[in-house]
């Protein structure tokens, strides 16, 4: 008996089978773990891709969430519905993957012009070989987010100086040509050797040679107001191409008046999202007409009055631009920066007043400040006031403060919203550049 027992214990021929049998469960479990974990990681990648697509899809420009956000004043949560959120996620899955037990939450919030979507998911992925270890499923979860910067909704109030000084020839070459034709008697009225087309701008027609405006037209001389009118009309095409949603920009246009007899803020175009309509109206802007030279002592350029009146045209509370109901308000001011008006008190010219009432001065910026205090921003396009050393008026009344004109116009503008254009540069290009700078500026947040 002892001999038989000793032989059995010393016999090793069946050890491999016994050991293999004993190790089979952990070996299969380990292999299953590797395979099932690999599958779970693959599914995790698929699920994250679906979540990324769902997060972006929830806030595409044409999505329901963005549409609601544009209509919603202020900040808050945008409800897109639990079922819609789930569908949005599952649309990104395919085949058997779409049948996974899945929990999905999609939240969309709007804050200061930024819409953020957050997609949170939890999926139960079935195992295969890990079942021998008692693990039938693996849970995969995660959160992704996406952001959409809403377009800035802006109302523009174009304030265009069309007063006599904007009748100056547009470029140095035009100035020289205007001086030549007036010096050689091609006009029957006004000063000789004059660079201005403003002297006697009548409504009598192009044949009226007492009108230097007509003299300029008849001799192919470009004057500054014509360039400004054309540039403003062209700007509407730029605005139309730039806006990302319909009605993003609305524009109104004003001048300082049609005639010197009723010089006051004149509405050229009502505030409208029909930019082509505004373009047609602004393209017809003309220099303010004057019945005769030195009418009312040439006191037709009152920036004080224009800025005071334009403020009243800006209705409602200026907003951040984050929605159609919360629009930014911007006065787009184009002028040469020299006022000439009746101002019995408060004249800022270092030269002093011409007489008891007439004041020729750089822009009085306290009227700009009043607009900015209402959160109305001012974009200034300064059309450089041309030095006219052959002109007695310029030498006597403008030259004393000539170097401060641009600085005052800069002071009038809101920070970052100033552009100066010299006669050699294109007013249209400058206007477009300033516009694009405005619409690309991050919105102010409260």
- pLDDT digits over 344-372, tens only? 999 999 988 888 899 999 999 999 999 99
Report, as an integer, the average pLDDT of 109-135. Answer: 75
Give the integer Cα–Cα distance in Å for 191 and 328: 45
- With 0-12 CB in 10 A as exposed, 13-18 as middle and 19+ as buried, what is 424? exposed
- pLDDT digits over 370-423, tens only? 999 999 999 999 988 877 787 788 899 999 999 999 999 999 999 999 999 876
The model's confidence at residue 289, banded by pLDDT at 50, 70 and 90, is confident
Report, as an integer, the average pLDDT of 99-128. Answer: 81
3-state secondary structure 354-413: CCCCEEEEECCCHHHHHHHHCCCEEEEEEECCCCCCCCHHHHHHHHHHHHHHHHHHHHHC
Q: Higher-confidence residue: 373 or 29?
A: 373
Q: What is the sign of the dihedral through the CA atoms of 285, 291, 293 and 294?
A: negative
Q: Which of 50-54, 299-303, 341-345, 396-400 has the lowest mean pLDDT?
A: 50-54
How much is the pLDDT for 259? 87
How much is the pLDDT for 294? 78
Give the integer Cα–Cα distance in Å for 58 and 79: 11
Q: Is the pLDDT of residue 300 over 60?
A: yes
Give the integer Cα–Cα distance in Å for 185 and 121: 85
What is the full DSSP assignment across 192-231?
SS--BS-TT--SS-TT-TT-HHHHHHHTT--BHHHHHHHH
Q: Is the pLDDT of residue 136 over 80?
A: no
Mean pLDDT of the chain: 80
Element (H, E) at 239: helix 224-242
How much is the pLDDT for 394? 84
Give the integer Cα–Cα distance in Å for 70 and 352: 52
Neighbouring residues of 222: CB distance < 8 A, sequence distance ≥ 6? 169, 170, 171, 174, 216
Report, as an integer, the average pLDDT of 432-441. Answer: 86
Report, as an integer, the average pLDDT of 201-211. Answer: 54
**DSSP assignment, residue 127?**
P
- Contact predicate 421/430, CB 8 Å: yes
Q: Which two tokens stand for residue 58?
A: 């929830």
Instruction: Name the fold adopted by 154-440.
Output: Rossmann fold (3.40.50)
Q: Where are the domains of the chain?
A: 25-149, 154-440
Report, as an integer, the average pLDDT of 287-300. Answer: 82
Q: Higher-confidence residue: 438 or 252?
A: 252
């Amino acid at each position: 008996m002892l001999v038989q027992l000793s032989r059995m214990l010393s016999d090793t021929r069946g050890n491999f089978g016994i050991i293999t049998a004993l190790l089979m469960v952990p070996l299969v479990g380990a292999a299953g773990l590797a395979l099932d974990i690999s599958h779970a990681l693959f599914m995790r990648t698929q699920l994250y891709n679906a979540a990324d697509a769902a997060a972006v899809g929830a806030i595409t420009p044409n999505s329901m969430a963005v549409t609601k956000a544009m209509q919603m004043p202020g900040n808050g949560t945008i409800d897109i519905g639990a079922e819609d959120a789930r569908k949005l996620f599952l649309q990104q899955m395919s085949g058997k993957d779409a049948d996974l037990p899945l929990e999905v939450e999609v939240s969309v919030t709007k804050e200061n012009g930024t819409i953020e979507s957050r997609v949170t998911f939890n999926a139960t992925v079935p195992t295969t070989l890990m079942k021998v270890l008692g693990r039938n499923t693996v849970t995969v979860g995660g959160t992704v987010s996406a952001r959409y910067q809403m377009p800035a909704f802006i109302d523009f109030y174009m304030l265009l100086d069309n007063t006599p000084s904007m009748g100056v020839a547009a470029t140095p070459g035009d100035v020289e040509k205007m001086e030549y034709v007036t010096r050689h008697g091609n006009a029957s009225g006004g000063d000789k050797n004059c660079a201005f087309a403003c002297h006697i701008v009548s409504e009598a027609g192009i044949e009226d040679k007492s009108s230097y405006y007509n003299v300029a037209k008849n001799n192919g001389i470009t004057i500054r107001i014509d360039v400004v009118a054309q540039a403003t009309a062209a700007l509407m095409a730029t605005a139309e191409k730039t806006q990302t949603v319909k009605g993003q920009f609305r524009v109104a246009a004003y001048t300082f008046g049609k005639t010197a007899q009723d010089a006051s803020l004149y509405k050229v175009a009502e505030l409208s999202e029909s930019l082509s309509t505004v373009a047609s109206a602004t393209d017809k802007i003309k220099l303010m007409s004057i019945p005769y030279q030195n009418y009312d002592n040439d006191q037709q350029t009152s920036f004080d009055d224009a800025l005071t009146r334009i403020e009243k045209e800006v209705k409602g509370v200026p907003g951040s631009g984050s929605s159609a109901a919360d629009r930014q308000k911007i006065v787009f001011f184009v002028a040469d920066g020299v006022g000439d008006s009746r101002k019995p008190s408060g004249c800022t010219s270092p030269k002093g007043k011409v007489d008891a009432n007439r004041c020729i001065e750089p822009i009085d910026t306290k009227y700009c400040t009043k607009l900015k205090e209402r959160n109305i921003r001012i974009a200034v396009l300064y059309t450089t006031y041309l030095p006219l050393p052959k002109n007695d008026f310029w030498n006597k009344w403008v030259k004393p403060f000539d170097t401060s004109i641009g600085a005052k116009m800069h002071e009038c503008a809101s920070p970052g919203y100033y552009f100066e254009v010299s006669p050699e540069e294109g007013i249209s290009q400058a206007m477009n550049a300033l516009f694009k700078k405005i619409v690309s500026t991050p919105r102010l947040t409260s």
